[in-house]
Amino acid sequence: MNSEDDTIRFKPVLNDLLNQGNERICGICHKQFATYTCPRCNLKYCSLACYKSENHAACTEAFYKDSFVAELQGQKVPEEDRNKMLQMLKRFEKESEELEEPADEIPDLMDRLAGIDLEQSTPDQILSVLTPAEREQFEASLREGSAALRGYVEIWRPWWITSEAARQSLIREIGPPDEVGTQRDVSVPEILSNIKTIDKVSSANPQERLIFNMVDMLAAYAFMCRFLNGEITEDPIESAQIMWNVSRILSSNQQFAFESVSEALTSCKMRLLQSKAYDSTLDTAILAFKDVSLILASHHYVLAALSDIHRIFSSACTGGRGDGATPLIPRTTRQRAFTSEKKVYYYLCLVGNRDEMRDALPILKAAVDMEVKRAENDMEEMLRITAVVEKDRSRKPRGPLVEEM
Protein backbone atom coordinates (compact mmCIF):
# COMPACT_ATOMS: atom_id res chain seq x y z
CA MET A 1 0.00 0.00 0.00
CA ASN A 2 1.71 3.21 -1.14
CA SER A 3 1.52 6.63 0.47
CA GLU A 4 -0.73 8.03 -2.28
CA ASP A 5 -3.36 5.37 -1.59
CA ASP A 6 -3.07 6.12 2.13
CA THR A 7 -3.66 9.82 1.56
CA ILE A 8 -6.73 9.11 -0.57
CA ARG A 9 -8.15 6.91 2.18
CA PHE A 10 -8.88 9.85 4.47
CA LYS A 11 -9.65 12.47 1.79
CA PRO A 12 -13.47 12.11 1.81
CA VAL A 13 -13.92 12.72 5.54
CA LEU A 14 -11.24 15.39 5.66
CA ASN A 15 -12.89 17.24 2.78
CA ASP A 16 -16.17 17.06 4.70
CA LEU A 17 -14.47 18.71 7.69
CA LEU A 18 -13.12 21.48 5.46
CA ASN A 19 -16.53 22.01 3.87
CA GLN A 20 -18.13 22.26 7.31
CA GLY A 21 -15.54 24.86 8.24
CA ASN A 22 -16.08 26.92 5.08
CA GLU A 23 -19.69 27.44 6.11
CA ARG A 24 -18.40 29.21 9.24
CA ILE A 25 -15.45 31.24 7.98
CA CYS A 26 -14.74 34.45 9.91
CA GLY A 27 -16.42 37.44 8.26
CA ILE A 28 -13.55 39.74 9.31
CA CYS A 29 -10.26 37.98 8.54
CA HIS A 30 -11.67 35.27 6.21
CA LYS A 31 -8.98 32.85 7.48
CA GLN A 32 -10.17 31.06 10.63
CA PHE A 33 -13.27 29.03 11.52
CA ALA A 34 -15.93 31.38 12.92
CA THR A 35 -17.33 30.01 16.16
CA TYR A 36 -18.87 33.27 17.43
CA THR A 37 -21.80 35.32 16.16
CA CYS A 38 -22.31 38.99 16.96
CA PRO A 39 -25.67 39.34 18.78
CA ARG A 40 -26.27 42.76 17.17
CA CYS A 41 -25.46 42.26 13.49
CA ASN A 42 -25.20 38.41 13.28
CA LEU A 43 -21.72 38.65 11.77
CA LYS A 44 -19.69 35.46 12.18
CA TYR A 45 -16.19 36.01 13.63
CA CYS A 46 -13.34 33.90 15.05
CA SER A 47 -11.72 35.89 17.85
CA LEU A 48 -11.88 38.96 20.06
CA ALA A 49 -9.35 40.72 17.82
CA CYS A 50 -11.64 40.38 14.81
CA TYR A 51 -14.64 41.42 16.89
CA LYS A 52 -12.84 44.66 17.86
CA SER A 53 -11.45 45.34 14.38
CA GLU A 54 -12.21 48.52 12.44
CA ASN A 55 -14.45 46.60 10.05
CA HIS A 56 -16.78 45.91 12.98
CA ALA A 57 -16.28 49.19 14.86
CA ALA A 58 -19.75 50.63 14.23
CA CYS A 59 -21.40 47.66 15.91
CA THR A 60 -18.97 47.33 18.85
CA GLU A 61 -19.12 51.04 19.73
CA ALA A 62 -22.89 50.84 19.98
CA PHE A 63 -22.58 47.71 22.10
CA TYR A 64 -20.11 49.29 24.54
CA LYS A 65 -22.31 52.38 24.85
CA ASP A 66 -25.35 50.27 25.73
CA SER A 67 -23.30 48.19 28.19
CA PHE A 68 -21.95 51.33 29.91
CA VAL A 69 -25.42 52.81 30.34
CA ALA A 70 -26.75 49.50 31.68
CA GLU A 71 -23.86 49.28 34.15
CA LEU A 72 -24.56 52.78 35.47
CA GLN A 73 -28.22 51.94 35.91
CA GLY A 74 -27.37 48.82 37.90
CA GLN A 75 -24.96 50.43 40.37
CA LYS A 76 -27.59 51.59 42.86
CA VAL A 77 -27.81 49.22 45.83
CA PRO A 78 -30.92 49.24 48.04
CA GLU A 79 -30.32 50.33 51.64
CA GLU A 80 -31.85 47.09 52.95
CA ASP A 81 -29.42 44.92 50.96
CA ARG A 82 -26.46 46.99 52.14
CA ASN A 83 -27.47 46.54 55.78
CA LYS A 84 -27.84 42.80 55.34
CA MET A 85 -24.36 42.58 53.84
CA LEU A 86 -22.87 44.48 56.80
CA GLN A 87 -24.59 42.13 59.25
CA MET A 88 -23.24 39.07 57.40
CA LEU A 89 -19.69 40.49 57.49
CA LYS A 90 -19.90 41.21 61.22
CA ARG A 91 -21.21 37.69 61.93
CA PHE A 92 -18.46 36.13 59.80
CA GLU A 93 -15.79 38.16 61.64
CA LYS A 94 -17.13 37.03 65.01
CA GLU A 95 -17.20 33.34 64.00
CA SER A 96 -13.64 33.58 62.66
CA GLU A 97 -12.42 34.99 65.99
CA GLU A 98 -14.06 32.10 67.86
CA LEU A 99 -12.38 29.48 65.67
CA GLU A 100 -8.96 31.13 65.84
CA GLU A 101 -6.50 29.42 68.19
CA PRO A 102 -3.74 31.24 70.05
CA ALA A 103 -0.65 30.62 67.94
CA ASP A 104 1.81 30.79 70.81
CA GLU A 105 0.21 27.86 72.66
CA ILE A 106 -0.04 25.37 69.78
CA PRO A 107 3.06 23.61 68.38
CA ASP A 108 3.66 23.67 64.67
CA LEU A 109 1.76 21.00 62.72
CA MET A 110 4.97 19.33 61.55
CA ASP A 111 6.11 19.05 65.18
CA ARG A 112 2.80 17.48 66.16
CA LEU A 113 3.07 14.94 63.33
CA ALA A 114 6.72 14.12 64.10
CA GLY A 115 5.86 11.46 66.68
CA ILE A 116 3.24 9.71 64.50
CA ASP A 117 3.92 6.83 62.14
CA LEU A 118 1.86 7.92 59.12
CA GLU A 119 2.15 4.48 57.51
CA GLN A 120 0.77 2.58 60.52
CA SER A 121 -1.59 5.14 62.08
CA THR A 122 -5.32 5.18 61.41
CA PRO A 123 -6.99 8.27 59.89
CA ASP A 124 -8.60 9.07 63.28
CA GLN A 125 -5.19 9.02 64.98
CA ILE A 126 -3.77 11.42 62.42
CA LEU A 127 -6.78 13.74 62.59
CA SER A 128 -6.56 13.82 66.39
CA VAL A 129 -3.45 16.03 66.24
CA LEU A 130 -5.31 18.77 64.36
CA THR A 131 -6.79 21.71 66.18
CA PRO A 132 -10.55 22.25 65.88
CA ALA A 133 -9.92 25.06 63.39
CA GLU A 134 -7.56 22.90 61.28
CA ARG A 135 -9.96 19.99 61.33
CA GLU A 136 -12.84 22.26 60.36
CA GLN A 137 -10.82 23.57 57.41
CA PHE A 138 -9.81 20.06 56.32
CA GLU A 139 -13.37 18.71 56.49
CA ALA A 140 -14.61 21.74 54.56
CA SER A 141 -12.07 20.96 51.83
CA LEU A 142 -13.34 17.39 51.65
CA ARG A 143 -16.91 18.63 51.27
CA GLU A 144 -15.88 20.96 48.45
CA GLY A 145 -14.43 18.04 46.47
CA SER A 146 -11.25 17.43 44.49
CA ALA A 147 -10.89 21.06 43.37
CA ALA A 148 -10.26 22.22 46.95
CA LEU A 149 -7.70 19.48 47.59
CA ARG A 150 -5.61 20.54 44.59
CA GLY A 151 -4.10 23.23 46.77
CA TYR A 152 -2.43 20.56 48.91
CA VAL A 153 -0.93 18.60 46.00
CA GLU A 154 1.60 19.67 43.40
CA ILE A 155 -0.20 19.66 40.07
CA TRP A 156 1.41 17.56 37.33
CA ARG A 157 2.12 19.33 34.05
CA PRO A 158 1.31 17.19 30.99
CA TRP A 159 4.20 16.29 28.71
CA TRP A 160 2.40 17.70 25.66
CA ILE A 161 2.49 21.12 27.39
CA THR A 162 5.95 21.07 28.96
CA SER A 163 7.54 19.68 25.81
CA GLU A 164 5.82 22.29 23.63
CA ALA A 165 6.99 25.08 25.95
CA ALA A 166 10.53 23.70 25.85
CA ARG A 167 10.45 23.55 22.05
CA GLN A 168 9.27 27.16 21.76
CA SER A 169 11.95 28.39 24.16
CA LEU A 170 14.62 26.34 22.35
CA ILE A 171 15.49 24.59 25.62
CA ARG A 172 15.04 20.83 25.47
CA GLU A 173 15.83 18.02 27.85
CA ILE A 174 17.91 15.67 25.73
CA GLY A 175 18.05 11.95 26.33
CA PRO A 176 20.00 9.18 24.64
CA PRO A 177 19.72 8.82 20.84
CA ASP A 178 16.75 6.82 19.61
CA GLU A 179 16.81 4.04 17.02
CA VAL A 180 17.16 6.39 14.07
CA GLY A 181 20.11 8.19 15.62
CA THR A 182 18.39 11.45 16.66
CA GLN A 183 18.02 12.97 20.10
CA ARG A 184 14.54 12.63 21.57
CA ASP A 185 12.75 14.66 24.23
CA VAL A 186 12.71 12.42 27.31
CA SER A 187 9.56 14.08 28.64
CA VAL A 188 7.58 12.60 25.73
CA PRO A 189 6.58 8.92 26.06
CA GLU A 190 8.62 6.60 23.90
CA ILE A 191 6.95 5.51 20.68
CA LEU A 192 6.29 1.82 20.32
CA SER A 193 8.92 0.16 18.14
CA ASN A 194 8.25 -1.82 14.96
CA ILE A 195 4.83 -0.34 14.16
CA LYS A 196 3.53 -2.21 11.13
CA THR A 197 1.68 -0.77 8.16
CA ILE A 198 -2.08 -1.15 8.29
CA ASP A 199 -2.17 -3.70 5.44
CA LYS A 200 0.04 -6.01 7.55
CA VAL A 201 -2.48 -6.21 10.41
CA SER A 202 -5.75 -6.21 8.47
CA SER A 203 -6.73 -7.42 5.03
CA ALA A 204 -9.86 -5.23 5.02
CA ASN A 205 -9.65 -1.65 3.83
CA PRO A 206 -10.25 0.55 6.94
CA GLN A 207 -13.13 3.01 7.00
CA GLU A 208 -12.27 6.65 6.44
CA ARG A 209 -14.20 7.71 9.56
CA LEU A 210 -11.98 5.64 11.86
CA ILE A 211 -9.69 8.65 12.11
CA PHE A 212 -12.36 10.34 14.26
CA ASN A 213 -12.18 7.46 16.74
CA MET A 214 -8.58 8.43 17.47
CA VAL A 215 -9.82 11.81 18.75
CA ASP A 216 -12.09 10.00 21.22
CA MET A 217 -9.18 7.89 22.49
CA LEU A 218 -6.85 10.87 22.89
CA ALA A 219 -9.47 12.79 24.88
CA ALA A 220 -9.89 9.85 27.27
CA TYR A 221 -6.10 9.54 27.62
CA ALA A 222 -5.64 13.25 28.33
CA PHE A 223 -8.37 13.26 30.98
CA MET A 224 -6.97 10.12 32.61
CA CYS A 225 -3.47 11.63 32.84
CA ARG A 226 -4.73 14.79 34.50
CA PHE A 227 -7.16 13.00 36.81
CA LEU A 228 -4.38 10.77 38.14
CA ASN A 229 -2.00 13.75 38.31
CA GLY A 230 0.46 11.99 36.00
CA GLU A 231 0.69 8.81 38.11
CA ILE A 232 -0.69 6.65 35.30
CA THR A 233 1.62 3.66 35.81
CA GLU A 234 1.06 3.22 39.57
CA ASP A 235 -2.16 1.28 38.99
CA PRO A 236 -2.64 0.35 35.32
CA ILE A 237 -6.03 -1.20 36.09
CA GLU A 238 -7.31 2.13 37.40
CA SER A 239 -5.82 3.98 34.43
CA ALA A 240 -7.45 1.54 32.03
CA GLN A 241 -10.80 1.78 33.84
CA ILE A 242 -10.85 5.57 33.56
CA MET A 243 -10.24 5.41 29.81
CA TRP A 244 -12.96 2.77 29.45
CA ASN A 245 -15.37 5.06 31.28
CA VAL A 246 -14.60 8.07 29.08
CA SER A 247 -13.97 6.54 25.64
CA ARG A 248 -16.76 4.79 23.77
CA ILE A 249 -14.25 3.31 21.35
CA LEU A 250 -12.02 1.76 24.01
CA SER A 251 -14.94 0.47 26.08
CA SER A 252 -16.92 -1.18 23.29
CA ASN A 253 -16.26 -4.50 21.60
CA GLN A 254 -18.48 -3.57 18.66
CA GLN A 255 -17.16 -2.07 15.45
CA PHE A 256 -18.11 1.57 15.43
CA ALA A 257 -16.90 4.83 13.88
CA PHE A 258 -17.88 8.37 14.78
CA GLU A 259 -19.29 10.51 12.01
CA SER A 260 -17.24 13.60 12.90
CA VAL A 261 -14.83 15.16 15.35
CA SER A 262 -17.78 16.92 16.96
CA GLU A 263 -19.57 13.64 17.60
CA ALA A 264 -16.44 12.04 19.08
CA LEU A 265 -15.78 14.92 21.49
CA THR A 266 -19.45 15.24 22.41
CA SER A 267 -19.48 11.56 23.37
CA CYS A 268 -16.50 12.10 25.71
CA LYS A 269 -18.06 15.23 27.17
CA MET A 270 -21.35 13.53 27.98
CA ARG A 271 -19.59 10.55 29.55
CA LEU A 272 -17.57 12.89 31.77
CA LEU A 273 -20.55 14.99 32.83
CA GLN A 274 -22.75 11.97 33.51
CA SER A 275 -20.15 10.17 35.62
CA LYS A 276 -20.38 10.93 39.34
CA ALA A 277 -16.98 9.35 40.01
CA TYR A 278 -14.91 12.20 38.54
CA ASP A 279 -16.81 15.30 39.71
CA SER A 280 -16.43 16.69 36.19
CA THR A 281 -17.76 19.97 34.85
CA LEU A 282 -17.86 21.53 31.40
CA ASP A 283 -14.48 23.08 32.24
CA THR A 284 -13.07 19.55 32.58
CA ALA A 285 -14.23 18.59 29.11
CA ILE A 286 -12.91 21.82 27.57
CA LEU A 287 -9.50 21.19 29.14
CA ALA A 288 -9.44 17.67 27.67
CA PHE A 289 -10.37 19.08 24.24
CA LYS A 290 -7.51 21.59 24.43
CA ASP A 291 -5.13 18.77 25.36
CA VAL A 292 -6.23 16.81 22.29
CA SER A 293 -5.54 19.86 20.13
CA LEU A 294 -2.00 20.13 21.52
CA ILE A 295 -1.34 16.42 20.91
CA LEU A 296 -2.66 16.68 17.35
CA ALA A 297 -0.14 19.45 16.68
CA SER A 298 2.55 16.82 16.12
CA HIS A 299 2.52 13.41 14.46
CA HIS A 300 5.22 12.40 16.95
CA TYR A 301 2.94 13.39 19.86
CA VAL A 302 0.04 11.35 18.45
CA LEU A 303 2.18 8.22 18.18
CA ALA A 304 3.64 8.87 21.65
CA ALA A 305 0.19 9.18 23.22
CA LEU A 306 -1.15 6.06 21.50
CA SER A 307 1.99 4.18 22.53
CA ASP A 308 1.45 5.28 26.13
CA ILE A 309 -2.15 4.03 25.99
CA HIS A 310 -0.91 0.74 24.53
CA ARG A 311 1.55 0.29 27.42
CA ILE A 312 -1.16 0.94 30.01
CA PHE A 313 -3.42 -1.78 28.64
CA SER A 314 -0.45 -4.11 28.27
CA SER A 315 0.41 -3.57 31.94
CA ALA A 316 -3.24 -4.06 32.89
CA CYS A 317 -3.07 -7.51 31.32
CA THR A 318 -0.13 -8.54 33.52
CA GLY A 319 -0.58 -6.29 36.52
CA GLY A 320 2.64 -4.53 35.60
CA ARG A 321 4.63 -7.77 35.91
CA GLY A 322 6.68 -9.13 33.09
CA ASP A 323 6.45 -12.77 34.15
CA GLY A 324 2.81 -13.05 33.11
CA ALA A 325 1.64 -13.91 36.63
CA THR A 326 -1.66 -12.12 37.31
CA PRO A 327 -3.24 -13.84 40.32
CA LEU A 328 -5.02 -10.70 41.57
CA ILE A 329 -6.50 -9.49 38.27
CA PRO A 330 -9.90 -10.93 37.28
CA ARG A 331 -9.90 -12.84 34.04
CA THR A 332 -12.58 -10.60 32.51
CA THR A 333 -10.44 -7.53 33.22
CA ARG A 334 -7.39 -9.12 31.62
CA GLN A 335 -9.39 -10.07 28.54
CA ARG A 336 -10.84 -6.59 28.25
CA ALA A 337 -7.40 -5.02 28.60
CA PHE A 338 -5.98 -7.40 26.00
CA THR A 339 -8.73 -6.46 23.54
CA SER A 340 -8.10 -2.74 24.12
CA GLU A 341 -4.37 -3.24 23.69
CA LYS A 342 -4.89 -4.84 20.27
CA LYS A 343 -7.34 -2.12 19.28
CA VAL A 344 -4.88 0.66 20.16
CA TYR A 345 -2.14 -1.09 18.19
CA TYR A 346 -4.46 -1.14 15.17
CA TYR A 347 -4.82 2.64 15.39
CA LEU A 348 -1.06 3.01 15.79
CA CYS A 349 -0.69 1.18 12.48
CA LEU A 350 -3.53 3.22 10.95
CA VAL A 351 -1.96 6.61 11.69
CA GLY A 352 1.68 5.53 11.59
CA ASN A 353 2.25 6.78 8.05
CA ARG A 354 3.79 10.22 8.50
CA ASP A 355 3.14 11.35 4.91
CA GLU A 356 -0.54 10.56 5.22
CA MET A 357 -1.01 12.26 8.60
CA ARG A 358 0.90 15.38 7.55
CA ASP A 359 -2.23 16.54 5.70
CA ALA A 360 -4.79 15.01 8.06
CA LEU A 361 -3.60 16.28 11.47
CA PRO A 362 -3.92 20.04 10.78
CA ILE A 363 -7.51 19.53 9.64
CA LEU A 364 -8.33 17.39 12.67
CA LYS A 365 -6.71 19.96 14.96
CA ALA A 366 -8.69 22.82 13.40
CA ALA A 367 -11.91 20.85 13.91
CA VAL A 368 -11.01 20.22 17.57
CA ASP A 369 -10.21 23.90 18.08
CA MET A 370 -13.62 24.77 16.67
CA GLU A 371 -15.26 22.43 19.20
CA VAL A 372 -13.25 24.07 21.99
CA LYS A 373 -14.59 27.50 21.03
CA ARG A 374 -18.10 26.11 20.72
CA ALA A 375 -17.90 24.54 24.18
CA GLU A 376 -16.49 27.76 25.65
CA ASN A 377 -19.39 29.68 24.10
CA ASP A 378 -21.82 27.19 25.64
CA MET A 379 -20.22 27.65 29.04
CA GLU A 380 -20.31 31.45 28.78
CA GLU A 381 -23.96 31.31 27.82
CA MET A 382 -24.71 28.91 30.68
CA LEU A 383 -22.97 31.22 33.18
CA ARG A 384 -24.84 34.22 31.79
CA ILE A 385 -28.20 32.48 32.12
CA THR A 386 -27.32 31.27 35.62
CA ALA A 387 -26.41 34.81 36.68
CA VAL A 388 -29.71 36.14 35.32
CA VAL A 389 -31.69 33.43 37.11
CA GLU A 390 -29.87 34.03 40.42
CA LYS A 391 -30.42 37.76 40.09
CA ASP A 392 -34.14 37.23 39.51
CA ARG A 393 -34.35 34.94 42.54
CA SER A 394 -32.68 37.51 44.78
CA ARG A 395 -35.15 40.20 43.89
CA LYS A 396 -38.03 40.68 46.30
CA PRO A 397 -41.48 41.25 44.79
CA ARG A 398 -42.51 44.89 45.11
CA GLY A 399 -46.06 43.96 46.03
CA PRO A 400 -48.29 40.96 46.62
CA LEU A 401 -48.36 38.48 43.77
CA VAL A 402 -52.08 37.91 44.32
CA GLU A 403 -54.27 40.76 45.50
CA GLU A 404 -57.78 40.23 46.71
CA MET A 405 -60.24 42.36 44.77
How far apart CA 135 and CA 131 sit, in angstroms, is 6
Give percent above pLDDT 70 in the chain: 64
**Confidence tier at 206 by pLDDT (50, 70, 90):** confident
Nearest to 217 by CA among 267, 254, 274: 267
Which among 104-108, 248-252, 277-281 has the top mean pLDDT?
A: 248-252
**Confidence tier at 194 by pLDDT (50, 70, 90):** confident
How far apart CA 258 and CA 275 sit, in angstroms, is 21
Residue 71 has pLDDT above 90, yes or no: no
Residue 157 has pLDDT above 70, yes or no: yes
Neighbouring residues of 262: CB distance < 8 A, sequence distance ≥ 6? 367, 371
Which among 23-32, 175-184, 282-291, 388-397 has the top mean pLDDT?
A: 282-291
Q: Is 265 in a helix, a strand, or coil?
A: helix
Residue 196 has pLDDT above 60, yes or no: yes
How far apart CA 186 and CA 392 sit, in angstroms, is 54
Annotate 322-369 with DSSP letters as a single string: TT---TTS-HHHHHHHHHHHHHHHHHHHHS--HHHHHHHHHHHHHHHH
Q: pLDDT value at position 1?
A: 44
* Range 248-262 average pLDDT: 90
How far apart CA 132 and CA 129 sit, in angstroms, is 9
Enumerate the domain spans of the chain. Answer: 126-155, 162-175+182-390
Q: What is the DSSP letter of 45?
A: E
pTM above 0.75, yes or no: no
Q: pLDDT value at position 67?
A: 58
* Range 103-116 average pLDDT: 66
Q: Render pLDDT for 236-247 as a digit per residue (tens, 0 to 9).
A: 999 999 999 999
